[in-house]
């Protein structure tokens, strides 16, 4: 992954939900041009952070056999900007399984308890070992959860 958008996983419940945080630092390279003299985190990266949490939820819930890849964003609403210095709280919940090999998730990004991005998206469930090292993902999860 080019951008690791989850700095810590705070809690998770297998197959149901996961909560994490992303701390926005002024040194994030995407802030250089988005926007000059008024840096804000791109909204699409906030959706990506939600998707990365969905991937971690799928991995941890399947003993690191599976991962979630984005298939479709059904809806997304933006409520405000996320700035350098903000701590983004990210919540992702499994909503339904519309088809075999897919799941629907709802995600929410909050800063200081205020809603910034809400999204609903579908993810395809894939075999983790086909595209990544399972041991490395386990170790990364251990670090993210302080486990």
pLDDT at 20 over 60: yes
CA distance 130 to 69: 13
Task: Report how far residue 73's alpha carbon sits from residue 119's, in angstroms, rounded to the nearest whole number.
Answer: 7
- Calpha distance 147→145 (Å, rounded): 5
Cα 130 from chain centre: 21
In the block, tokens 């302080």 appear at 146
Backbone CA torsion sign across 73, 56, 22, 29? negative
Indicate if the alpha-carbon torsion angle 138, 139, 144, 147 is positive or negative. Answer: positive
CATH code of 19-145, in short, is: 3.10.129.10
Could you give the CA distance from residue 77 to residue 24 in angstroms, rounded to a whole number? 20
- What's residue 98's pLDDT? 67
Residues 98 and 29 sit within 8 Å (Cβ to Cβ): no
pLDDT of residue 1: 56
- Told to judge if 34 belongs to the known catalytic residues of this protein, a careful annotator would answer yes
Average pLDDT over residues 120-143: 97
Residue 58 reports pLDDT greater than 70 = yes
Kindly tell me the burial class for residue 125, based on how many C-beta atoms sit within 10 Å of its own C-beta (0-12, 13-18, 19 or more).
Answer: buried
* Alpha carbons 86 and 46: distance in angstroms, whole number: 12
Dmax over CA atoms of the chain, in Å, equals 46
Q: Is 98 helix (H, G, I), strand (E, B) or coil?
A: coil
Per-residue pLDDT averaged across 122-133, rounded? 96
Mean pLDDT in the chain? Answer: 95
User: Can you give the residue ranges of every domain in the chain?
Assistant: 19-145
Active-site option among 33, 34, 71, 77: 34
Is a pLDDT exceeding 80 seen at residue 3? yes
């Amino acid at each position: 992954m080019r951008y690791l958008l989850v700095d810590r996983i705070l809690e998770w419940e297998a197959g149901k939900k996961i909560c994490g945080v992303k701390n926005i630092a002024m040194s994030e390279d995407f802030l250089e041009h988005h926007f000059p003299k008024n840096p804000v985190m791109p909204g699409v990266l906030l959706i990506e952070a939600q998707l990365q949490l969905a991937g971690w939820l799928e991995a941890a819930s399947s003993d690191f056999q599976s991962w979630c890849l984005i298939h479709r964003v059904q809806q997304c609403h933006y409520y405000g900007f996320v700035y350098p210095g903000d701590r983004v709280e990210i919540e992702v919940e499994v909503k339904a399984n519309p088809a075999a090999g897919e799941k629907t998730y709802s995600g929410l990004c909050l800063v200081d308890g205020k809603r910034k991005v809400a999204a609903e998206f579908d993810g395809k469930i894939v075999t983790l070992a086909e595209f990544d090292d399972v041991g490395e993902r386990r170790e990364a999860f251990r670090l993210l959860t302080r486990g």
